[in-house]
Structure 1
Amino acid sequence: MDVLLTREPAPQTVPACELPRKEHHVACNTGAHTSAGLATAGFRTAKYLLDEWSQHCSARYHQAFADRDQSQRQRHESRQLAAETEALARRTQDDSTRQVGRRLQDVHGWKSELQRETEALLAETDLLLAQKLRLQRALDATAAPLSIATDNLQSRERRQHPDLVRDCVETELLREAELIRNIQRLLQRTIMQAEDQIRLNREHKGTCELDWSDKVEAYNLDEVCARYHSQSTEVQFYPHSAAFQESASTPETWAKFSRDILYRAERERLASANLRQLVDCVLRDVSEDLRLQCDAVNLAFARRCEELEDARHKLESHLLKTLREITDQEHNVAALKQAIGAKEAPLKVAQSRLYQRSHRPNVELCRDAAQFRLVSEVEELHGSLAALKEKLLEAEQSLRNLEDTRMALEKDIAVKTHSLFIDRQQCLALRARYPSALQLAGYR
């Protein structure tokens, strides 16, 4: 029994470089002319024809050539792609390194500016603290002048009348006390301004230091990043690190943040420097004003002491003259009393004569010239006695007036001496402790 065998090769994908393959059908082994003959009866055969074999070999040759060619192209393209990606990776890494380097320069520049501003603020704050110390010393130094002026006013209240007057010294002392109180209020306000400015300086210094510390940390991180390379052993994969963070700033906002901090810090530093100059002017003006007023008070004291000394000298001169006049007047009173006493004898004589002649008898009782002369003599003696007694009264009144004047002069001299003691020994001696110009300027 003849068996019909057919073989159909499996369909293959024809490469682009191969020729189209033909499908060859296997010949059927039938009939007496088959190659197998009877000996192979009952066995399957699947042999190609010679042409088919040749075509098959050619196809294999072409297929191998095409596969090798494609493999070579792929290898070439792979090497080229690997080289390109390697060069691109190197360029990208170098560019990233340069960008990180530029960033390091930017961060270093801002860091240096912040450090410089921080140091400037620290130095400015120290200078302002020194000025505040000067203000405090100057304020403490004004306590002594105020105490001196107040003590002078209280001491001069113990003057006696008529020297208890509102003279130029008291006016200058009151002006000095008011000036010192105004200066103390000014110094206290200036100290408060200095304290507020010191607080602002320290706040902005802290802000600069915080930003500086952030930039130092960022600089250190970027410096570590700049040292990374492909052969670094400490690098590893961070799959999600390429995502941008929502809180990240932009270069513009980053620069503006530090620029604003530096601007505010510099503004406060300039304000602090201006305040220091103002403090210098205030302390200089305060010292000059107090010393000028002190000189004015001392000059008023000197003039007043000269006036008191001159008045005391004049009073002493008048007292000396008054004492002399009292002595002369006492002598005058004594002389008047003596003169009055001396008139008693002539009056007795004249009256005795008249009395005796009044006893003349009869017609002898005549108003003769002797009678008229004796009568006129008695009248004259009475007139003289009356005049002498009146003059004695005037002399005694004058003597009493001189005594009163002497007592008043002595009292005035004592008052002037007491006033001079208060002004010279108490007030001026106390004013010798007046602070110096350097102390009032806050240098000591």
Structure 2
Amino acid sequence: MRFGIFKTYCFAFFLIVIPGFKLIAQSRITSDSIGSWQQLDNVASLSGKSEWRPMLTYVAKLHKLSTHAAIWPFDYEWEGIGPGYVYGEAFGHWDIVHIVLDEIPSFPQHALHQLFNDIKNQEPSGLIPGSIYMPGGISKRDSVHWDKTTAGHPPLWPIAVQDYIDHTGNRSIIKSFYPALIKQIAWFEKNRKAGKEGFFYNDILLKKWESGVDEGVRFDDVKKGPLACVDATSHVYNLYKIAALWSAQLGLDDNWYKKRRDELKTFIQNDLYVNEDGMFYDIWAVKDPSFRHLAFESMWPLVVGAATKAQANRYIDKYLMNPNVFLTAHPIATIGKTDPKFEKRMWRGPAWNSMSYWAAIACLNYGRKDGAKLILEKALDETAKQFKRTGTIWEFYDSLGGNPEDLKRKPQTKYNSPSKDYLGHNPLIAMAILYDSIK
């Protein structure tokens, strides 16, 4: 039977009747699960190449500087995107996941608190907010606000939860996060399900940039409609993948989650892939070659492990490891270097270190240590070069090796340069640790 409204309500009922499940933290915190800012600083000072370390220790200090005392709507101390974010103090979106990745090895307690903060304001519908805008900072905002109905964010947070579990061995936290995961799956099935199969982000309907890729080239010309997006479908596939894992570990029935996981994997491999190109696309670009672009979102099937090994190796060799596509001076270019839509403008050509991290994960998922190490090294080399020159961490970087301050952000707004002292897309400590782990 296919998923429908009845199944969605079953999810909601399922949450109510399971005893002992709460959205607040009830995990047992051991000494290995605590850590400190000092440990984060120590790890940063010992990771990666020596020439990266001034930058990495600066990032460690920036994490502490960006953390504020617990205040509504959070139960714990909360860490913002960074003091230089052009829209002021903010929490959430996929930025908080990238922030947490830096902190799990050395300050897991703080990282866990951020993950609890992230699910704290999940709506009854299952939507987890995108950015929660806080008072103060550059914006001088005097109140808290966020979108509660029309826009969520890429659901990468379960990956960070699983990373925390893998690092600390503390599986008891699963029962605190599991209900939020199931409710979010139900929300996607009810509100972001594409026509035949797959999922979409509201970029294609409202251009609210729920995908996290503001003004992405994939949506320049396509007509509005609930059409399957390669990133959204991959992200929901991963939700089902983790739901199956956590269900089994909790002793619950995992059959439905495994079924949907496998259905989505088949759909991604067959319906969102063009064999002639060796490339994953959104469904409209699969059907009409005029919509095809070398967009970095095509890598998500590899990041979540949904591609076949043959598809992944071909993609890595033809695109991720190709200097004319994504392996630019500062990888990865968000639009392939040779694509006619490439420009030095936010998400339309520049490099974001968070995406360099995910590209490395994509390579490692398929045993391609060569690709992962090269991507990480080039990205960290270039970031360290710009840090030495400017003394700051930039929101995004020139993929061709130029200066970040020469890039455009959003020309139609007063904020047309990358933010400085920006943590949300710079998991640089995590990248350096990952680099060190590759033998």
* TM-score class normalised by the smaller sequence: under 0.3
Larger radius of gyration: 1
Greater percentage in helix = 1
TM-score normalised by length of structure 1: 0.17
TM-score normalised by length of structure 2: 0.17
